[in-house]
Structure 1
Amino acid sequence: MTSVGAQPPARRLTARGASTRNRIVRAAADLMHAAGVAGTTMDQVVDASGTSKSQLYHYFADKDALVAAVIKTQAARMLEFQEPHLERLASIADLRQWRNAVVRSVDEGQGINGCAVGSLSSELADRSEPARILIEAAFRSWESYLAAGLRRMQDRGELDPEADPAELATGLMAAYQGGYLLSQAARSSRPMAIALDLALDSIEARRARSDRAPEAAS
């Protein structure tokens, strides 16, 4: 795979055309999450989406173009699930609520197939530079929500002003992805819970000095 993102020239889609294209992408995303990109064929996508091969190639020049759309769709799905928690993130309590939602989601699926975006990264990042760039952009967008929340915590005095929100966000993402990988192997949400708890404990330990002073004096 060498040319992810190769698509026909942009054109305005009818409502019906947009619906058909979205159906194809959603079906491909589900198949690729379950079986991997290499394990998913275009014929399988046609069958799963209930479309014809001519329709598939009308919207996507090749599998690489379809994969690019899948990466964007999986990133959007991930943010759709987490945005309600991340957009209002402004305290340790909010971070704990996000953690609980994530762990609950992993527990419901027993970690099967891992993180939709992380799994694509594991399979594609070393094989396709265009795919790697799309996946990296998805991760950066995700981290930006966490970093923005951590900056709001600083504004509220809940986080040491010397802390770097961007670095802490990267640490949270690393805990999330590593926790998901271990949960996938264990078929349990416990590794995810442990990884996120350690990351959040580290952030809580960096509360603003004014918050820590009474504890130190007691």
Structure 2
Amino acid sequence: MDSSKITERGRLTRQRIIEATGEQILASGIGGTTLDTVRAATLTSKSQLFHYFPGGKAELVREVAAWEGRQLLEAQEPEIHDLGSWESWERWRRMLVEYYIARGRWACPIGSLATQAATTDSELASAIATTMRDWREQLADGVRRMKAAGSVDSSADSQRIATVILAAIQGGLVLSQPERSAWPLEAALDNALAPLHHVATTR
């Protein structure tokens, strides 16, 4: 839907629907989220849902994925665009744990969608893959800045380290969920950052 044609009140309603749907998907998955459950959670009518999302559930889920992706990257600002020092990496780590745990989100919305999207919607899967690649590339850029500053060895594989960090985040959240505790995520992140420390220079 062309958002430029929506009134401010309509924009707020549309966003409220997106956010409520995101919470339902995180709790029940794409399969467990229906337009009827969304209507009940947002007190909207069927005609309203199709007014804002003419493509139905598929369009709504794609909008949720886009919104969650923006939220995730914005939560890591401004450090995600720095990561040129050990202090910046440590601040980024704290911010990421805060984003997930303090909000009571014991799973990664993007990671959760990624595990379901391939079998439900190829367009959704492609959009999520793009978000993951963007995230990985920003982390890899941070490793490159560390290399340029002489803080880590020039032989460090930026892409590989960034991929390990992303995998640790997703795995750490899976383990944190049943524990309802941040420590598995924190432990996973510490181990993920270990390769970066391993190639640190003495400068």
TM-score by length of 2: 0.89
- State whether structure 2 residue 180 is matched by structure 1 residue 187: yes
Deviation at 1:20, TM superposition (A): 2.4
Q: Pick from 15, 30, 41: which aligns with 1:48? A: 41
Asked if residue 133 in structure 1 is aligned to residue 126 in structure 2, the reply is yes
- The answer for unaligned runs of 5 or more in structure 2 is none
Per-residue CA distance 1:143-178 (angstroms, 9 max, x = gap): 122112111111111121222222211111011111
Unaligned runs of 5+ in 1: 1-7, 213-218
- CA RMSD of superposed structures (Å): 2.1
Please name the residue that 2:137 is paired with.
144
Structure 1 outlier segments of 4+, above 4 Å: 8-11
Query: Could you tell me how far apart the structure 1 residues matched to 2:12 and 2:134 are?
Result: 26
Structure number with higher relative contact order (C-alpha < 8 Å, ≥ 6 residues apart): 1
1:120 matched to which residue of 2? 113
Higher-Rg member (1/2): 1
Say whether the 8 Å CA contact 2:83–2:89 is kept in structure 1: yes
Q: Percent identity?
A: 38
TM-score (norm 1): 0.83
Q: Does the aligned pair in 2 maintain the 1:183–1:190 contact within 8 Å? A: yes
The separation in 1 between residues aligned to 2:2 and 2:150, in whole angstroms, is 50
How many residues in Structure 1 have an aligned counterpart in Structure 2? 202
Correspondence list, 1:1-218, <5 A: 12-60=5-53, 61-108=55-102, 112=106, 114-208=107-201, 211=202
Indicate if the aligned counterparts of 1:110 and 1:189 stay in contact, CA closer than 8 A: no
- 1:110–1:21 distance in 2 versus 1, CA, 3 Å: closer
**Aligned-pair distance for 1:16?**
3.0
